[in-house]
Amino acid sequence: MSNIQSSEIFEKAPIVLAIIQYRYEKILDFDSKKIREIGTSIKKEFPKSSESVLQNIKIDQTAETKVSIDKSEIQGVRFETEDKTKALTVGIEKFTLEINVNYPGWNAFSSEVINHWKLFSPALGDVKLTGLSMRYLNRFDLPLDISDIRKYFTTYLNSDTGNHPMMNFQFKYSYIKGDNIIHLGHALDNEIEGKIPYFFDIDVIKLAAIENNENVILQIFENLRVEKNSIFNDGITEESKKLIR
């Protein structure tokens, strides 16, 4: 718990997308009808539902030019709120909760995905968890007169000569830390309403055989959150922190 408190928590957290996910071995006998039936119990919050379908195209390399459509495969069922700001996807390999407006805070977010997992996982059978992950996309609205990105972020693209200012860019990189795989992305976008949007994307993944136990899962999610918060705090400068306090 002390590690969680070591990273500053910001009143105006700039989260514009939050995703939390279970990963498991592919379910060969996935029953989308049963999943949709269970989904009626959350219909008040998620009134929209649809099946995600994968369909492959086969090209015959030896005969005359023609293609054929392989049998389609259901990838999962997606439940959405009326305004599409929140979605729950129960898939053949992943179980995902995503929120893109009004992030409710960690306690509510983690409790919600745990409760949904308890509701749907019995219908998935004896799932073998292979990983857990979370991804947070943060948006900072920087002033128009920004001249040096190093004033706001500790990782950056920069022209040392100053002759080639980088006012629109994106870059990504990854690394491994302990049991975690971490993907980071940075993007500077075009001006919107007198501000320059800057996106800081943090994706933290643990790939391992995981016991399907609520306490075990919640502890791993807590550990991933600690890592995510540490990366966030380390990636921004005091100037950025002033924007979100």
Domain count, the chain: 1
Task: Give domain status of residue 59, yes or no.
Answer: no
**What pLDDT digit, counting tens, does each position of 128-152 carry?**
999 999 999 999 999 988 878 899 9
Task: Give domain status of residue 116, yes or no.
Answer: no
Q: Would you place residue 1 in the very low, low, confident or very high pLDDT band (cuts 50, 70, 90)?
A: very low
Task: Give domain status of residue 118, yes or no.
Answer: no
Q: Would you place residue 4 in the very low, low, confident or very high pLDDT band (cuts 50, 70, 90)?
A: very low
Average pLDDT, the chain: 89
Q: Say what the pLDDT of residue 99 is.
A: 97
Give the predicted TM-score (pTM) of the model. 0.88
Range of the domain at 165: 2-25+128-244
Q: Say what the pLDDT of residue 135 is.
A: 98
Task: Give domain status of residue 135, yes or no.
Answer: yes
CA distance 226 to 204: 10
Q: Say what the pLDDT of residue 207 is.
A: 96
Task: Give domain status of residue 115, yes or no.
Answer: no
CA distance 1 to 223: 10
Task: Give domain status of residue 75, yes or no.
Answer: no
Task: Give domain status of residue 31, yes or no.
Answer: no
Closest CA to 42 of 14, 7, 70, 80: 80
Q: Is 127 exposed, middle or buried (0-12, 13-18, 19+ CB in 10 A)?
A: middle
**What pLDDT digit, counting tens, does each position of 159-177 carry?**
777 666 667 889 999 999 9
Task: Give domain status of residue 134, yes or no.
Answer: yes
CA angle, 228 as apex, 169 and 102 as ends, to 5°?
Answer: 80
